[in-house]
Structure 1
Amino acid sequence: MSALDAVRSRQSWSKVTEEAPSREELLPLIAAAGRVADHSSLRPWRLIELRGDDRLALGAAIAKAEGEKKPSTKPLRASLLIAVVGSYRTNHKVPVWEQEAVASGVAHTLSLLLDEAGWGVFWRTGGYTRSKAVARAHGLAKNEVLLGWLYVGGKPAKSPGRRTPVDADALLTRMPPDGATKGEKSEKKKKNK
């Protein structure tokens, strides 16, 4: 399968089976995903593998973050969760937003590689990803933020559903000759009438 085919066929699998790749199966995929464009090769990311009781601890942390008494069952929806962590480095050439883009690129590339390897993947986020309770549960340092989790498991027999096709022509535009935004151009046209 080509990279284009892998990207075109990628889907989010919000429901997965209990099967999950082993650590040994993950390592070469993570090594490949780490090849994303990375200004100054900072590697401003890391991944945390959550299995078994780790998921229960995460459920308790999510409940604490949301002010709930009962632990969240969301982390139990897959037997493997991979926490995606932006691990920022101090660098005058590479701003934090760019480092977060690298970490996001690693997560997306890893999700494509897992999908191609036959695993169902769903990237879960939420407001509680940036909460103190959830950060503490993951052992995050002060220079780190959680970007969410890749929920990984076997693909069930049922298809995840269809995605709406991307209208590439509408999303690929040209730079305006005078630097005006699309909204500013509309306003100029109205004033000139």
Structure 2
Amino acid sequence: MNALEAVRARQSWSKVTDEAPSRDELLKLVAAAGRVADHSSLRPWRLIELRGSDREVLAAAIAKAEGDKSPSSKPLRAPLLIAVVASYRKSDKVPRWEQEAVASGVAHMLSLLLDEAGWGVLWRTGRYTRAKAVAKAHGIGKNEELLGWLYVGGKPAGKKPGRRRPVDARALVTRMPQPKKK
């Protein structure tokens, strides 16, 4: 499968099995995903691997952020969660928004690589990505923001991924407006 075919085939998997890539497999894919365009090579991102009881810690932090008494079940929906963190660097050349774009690019590239490797992936966000209890559970620093989590697991046999509408490229690609003639 070439890159175009892999991107066209990518779908979000809201339900996955209890299988997950090994740490070594994950590290290989992260090394490749980290090759996204990165002005000044700041690497303004980091990833946090959550497996096993790590997910229960997150479940309790989400419950605290939401004011719930029972832990959230969301982090238990996949065997591997990868927290995506924008880790901003001081730079006179690279603004904060561009650094966040790099972190998002790494997450998206990693989701494509995981999908192409045969894993089911869903990028989950939510209001609690900015909650203090959730940030504390992840060890988020003062110059960092949690952008969400990649939920990763096996693709269930016989199940289909979520539906995606085709992209109408003609409606989304325009030309530069031309100056009006006098």
Give TM-score scaled by structure 2 length. Answer: 0.96
Q: Which residue number in structure 1 is paired with residue 166 of structure 2?
A: 165
Residue type at the aligned position of 2:143: N
Which runs of no fewer than 5 residues in structure 1 stay unpaired?
180-193
Q: In the alignment, which residue of structure 2 is the partner of 1:118? A: 118
Q: Between Structure 1 and Structure 2, whose CA radius of gyration is higher?
A: 1
- Where in structure 1 do 4 or more consecutive aligned residues deviate above 2 Å? none
> C-alpha offsets along residues 145-193 of structure 1, whole Å, 9 cap, x if unaligned?
00000000000120114310000000001121249xxxxxxxxxxxxxx
Q: For residues 63 and 151 of structure 1, do their structure 2 counterparts lie closer, same or farther at Cα, with a shift above 3 Å needed?
A: same
Encode CA deviations 1:13-53: one digit per residue, 9 max, x unaligned: 00000000010111110000000000000000000000011
- 1:84 matched to 2:64: no
Give unmatched runs, 5+ long, in structure 2.
none
Percent identity for Structure 1 against Structure 2: 80
Alignment TM-score, normalising by the size of structure 1: 0.91
Is 2:43 the partner of 1:74? no
**Residue by residue, what CA displacement relative to the aligned partner does 1:93-141 show, whole Å, maximum 9, x if unpaired?**
1011000000000000000000010000000000000111100000011
Structural RMSD (CA):
1.0
1:20 aligns with 2:20: yes
The aligned residue for residue 138 of structure 2 is 138
- Within a 5 Å distance, the mapping from 1:19-58 to structure 2 comes to 19-58=19-58
Partner amino acid, structure 1, of 2:165: T
* Cα distance in structure 2, aligned partners of 1:67 and 1:98: 34
**Equivalent residues, number:** 179
